[in-house]
Structures are given as structure tokens and as C-alpha cells.
Amino acid sequence: MTSSNPSGGSAPSAGAGFCAACGTAVSVGARFCHRCGTPVGQGLPITRAPAVAGGAASVLPWGIAFVALLALVAMVAGKNFGAAKGSGIDGSSNSLPTQAVDGAGAAPFAQGGGGGAAPDIANLSPSERANRLYSRIMVYAEAGKADSVAFFAPMAMASHEMLDGPTADERYHFGRIAEVTDVPAVAKAQADTILQATPNNLLGLLLAARAARMTGDNAAAKGFDQRLLKTLEPELATRLPDYDMHRAEIDRAAADARRPI
């Protein structure tokens, strides 16, 4: 004989069945679990008590061994990849400048990418930070380290975007970063802004020519080349400090402009 309970069901009897939600034994004919209230028959029926503790205990040693094996494989693979400096791939483990890869003092904010300890970034002005990042990216670009360029480019572009009233030289730097990271719209925008202020600016003209070539507009590029050659000598005679700092790039652009198509 069964006894009634407050919920209107019968007292649970062993082996009658188990709640699909909590695993509590329920009596035959009960409509709800007397423990959690889940309607009987909802979810997957449970015909035996779940052996949670026993299952976890049996699986745990194998799980720990599997995780340890994965960690060991990852560590060995990482060491082998990072040590492959001589390969043709500038992998992510080599993106950060190190003494082994870049020589002594190769910190990302070192002036011109040269020697010496890196200054505290927090003590740099926005302009100094942007200029040092530009120098770092140019060093990597010249060395063909594409992954390193990609690693630092977002920081460099963000630093230039935050400059308050950037100079023509800083706009040129921004445009060159955009050039080596294949963002022609930014390179063109910086060149246009430079030339709006000073139409004969050599850095603006050579940057505009490069931006045009990036989009396949060779006619526009040739036009900027001609403007650069026409104003080259008068502009160099001004001895503008920006021209002195980028003289090698100006000379290379002039030589390219004189070269027959």
C-alpha cells in the first residue's frame, strides 16, 4: 500500500524510475518530481541513477594525461618555430624585435631602430611615439619582415591618427606606413592633405605618385612624377629639414620618375 504526499503523488519506491532532470527516484504514476518539480516524462528518460562521481573519477586521469600531452606538443612546436630564423617566414614568434634577430638595442620604440635602450613609452610625447613606430616599421619593411610590419602597423597608424595637428612630415610618415601595409586610401588622403597646404611639397608629390600606382592609376602617378621633377631643384634649394631627413627617398623617386616607361 502506498502513502499519499502533499503533492498528490505517491511515495517514491526504489527502482520505479528516476527524474530526467535531477536523477531523484520517483514513484510509479507520479506526474512531477517531488524534489525539483520537473514533469515526469520530459527530457530523456533516466532508467538508472547517474554515476557522476564514478564517471569523473575514471575519466580524470586520462583527461590530465591528454592535456599534458597537448601542452608538451605545443611547447616543442613553439620552440622549433621560433628557432627557425633562417626560414623564409617571419613567423609570429619573431614579430617582436629581439637582440638575436635585430641586433643590440632593437626595441620597438628605439630612435631609428638603432642601438641603445628603449625609453619608457609613458614618457614619450604622442609625436615621439608615432615617429619611433614609423622608424621601426620602415626598418622591418626594408628587411622584408612582413609579420613584424603587420604586428606594429596598427599601433603606428593609431598613434598617427591621434596626433593633434600633424606636420607634413608626420603625414608623410602616416602615408608611408599605409603604403607598406597596402592601404592606398590612407596614403592618398595624407598626400592630398600635404599638397593642399603646399602644392609643391616633394614628399607629398612622391607619396601621391606611390598611392596612385597602388591603385593602378599610372596616368595620375606619371602626372605627379612630372610635377616632382619640375619643382625638384627649387624645392631642394629651400633646405627644408623634412627634405634632408628623406633625401634618399626623394632622390630615388626622382630617378624613378626619369626612367622611361
Q: What's the pLDDT band for 140 if we cut at 50, 70, 90?
A: very high
92-258, what's its fold?
Answer: 1.25.40
Q: What count of Cα atoms within 13 Å lies in the side-chain half-sphere of residue 103? A: 8
The average confidence (pLDDT) of the chain is 74
CA distance 201 to 207: 10
In this prediction, residue 261 carries a pLDDT of: 64
Whole-model pTM: value is 0.58
- The ranges assigned to domains in the chain are 1-50, 52-83, 92-258
Q: Per-residue pLDDT tens for 18-73? A: 777 777 776 777 777 767 777 776 544 444 444 444 444 454 555 555 555 555 54
In this prediction, residue 18 carries a pLDDT of: 74
Q: Per-residue pLDDT tens for 92-126? A: 434 444 443 344 444 444 444 444 455 556 688 99
